[in-house]
Amino acid sequence: MGEFIILKRTCLYFFVFFLVYSSVYGPRVEAWSKEGHAMTCKIAQNLLEPEAAHAVQMLLPDYVNGDLSALCVWPDQVRHWYTYRWTSPLHFIDTPDKACNFKYERDCYDTHGGKDMCVAGAIQNFTNQLSHYRHGTSDRRHNMTEALLFLAHFMGDIHQPMHVGFTSDEGGNTINLRWFRHKSNLHHVWDREIILTAAADYYGKDTSLLQQDIEGNFTDGIWTDDLSSWRDCDNMFTCVNKYAAESINIACKWGYKGVESGNTLSDDYFDSRLSLVMKRIAQGGVRLAMILNRIFGDGQQQEDLMAAT
User: What dotted CATH number matches 11-305?
Assistant: 1.10.575.10
Specify the DSSP element, H or E, that contains 194.
helix 194-202
- Asked if pLDDT for residue 307 goes beyond 60, the answer is yes
Q: Are 174 and 185 in contact (CB under 8 A)?
A: yes
Q: 174 by DSSP, 3-state: which?
A: coil
Three-state DSSP class for 188?
Answer: helix
Task: Tell me how far apart the alpha carbons of residues 151 and 201 are, in angstroms, rounded to a whole number.
Answer: 31
CB-count burial class (<10 Å; 0-12, 13-18, 19+) for 119:
buried
pLDDT confidence of residue 12: 40
pLDDT tier, 32 (very low <50, low <70, confident <90, very high otherwise):
confident
Q: What whole-number distance in Å separates Cα of residue 290 and Cα of residue 265?
A: 35
The tens digit of pLDDT for each residue in 270-305 reads: 999 999 999 999 999 999 999 999 999 976 666 667
Q: How far apart are CA 36 and CA 14, in angstroms?
A: 24
* C-alpha–C-alpha distance, residues 143 and 138, integer Å: 11
Looking at 203-266, list the stretches that DSSP marks H as alpha helix, in order from N- to C-terminal side: 207-219, 227-231, 236-250
Give the residue extent of every domain in the chain.
11-305
Q: Closest Cα to residue 292, out of 11, 55, 125? A: 55
The arithmetic mean of pLDDT across residues 163-180, rounded, is 98
| Strand stretches in the chain, DSSP E | 93-95, 164-166, 176-179, 182-185, 264-265
Provide the pairing of β-strand 182-185 with 176-179: antiparallel
Identify the pLDDT of residue 234. 92
Q: With contact defined as beta carbons under 8 Å apart, do 215 and 99 qualify?
A: no
Amino acid letter, 39: M
Buried b (16+ CB within 10 A) or exposed e, 215-236: bebbeeeebeeebeebbebeeb
Q: What is the pLDDT of residues 4-17, one digit of tens each?
A: 544 333 344 444 44
- What value does the CA radius of gyration of the chain take, rounded to a whole number of Å? 18
- Residue 292 confidence (pLDDT): 98
Lowest mean pLDDT among 29-38, 87-96, 281-290: 29-38
Residue 23 reports pLDDT greater than 60: no
Q: Report residue 7 CA to chain centroid gap.
A: 22
Q: For residues 131 and 108, what is the distance between their CA atoms, to the nearest angstrom?
A: 22
pLDDT band for 135, please (50, 70, 90 cuts): confident
Which helix (H) or strand (E) covers residue 76, if one does?
Answer: helix 74-78
Q: Residue 19 has what pLDDT?
A: 44
> Looking at residues 135-141, what average pLDDT do you find?
54
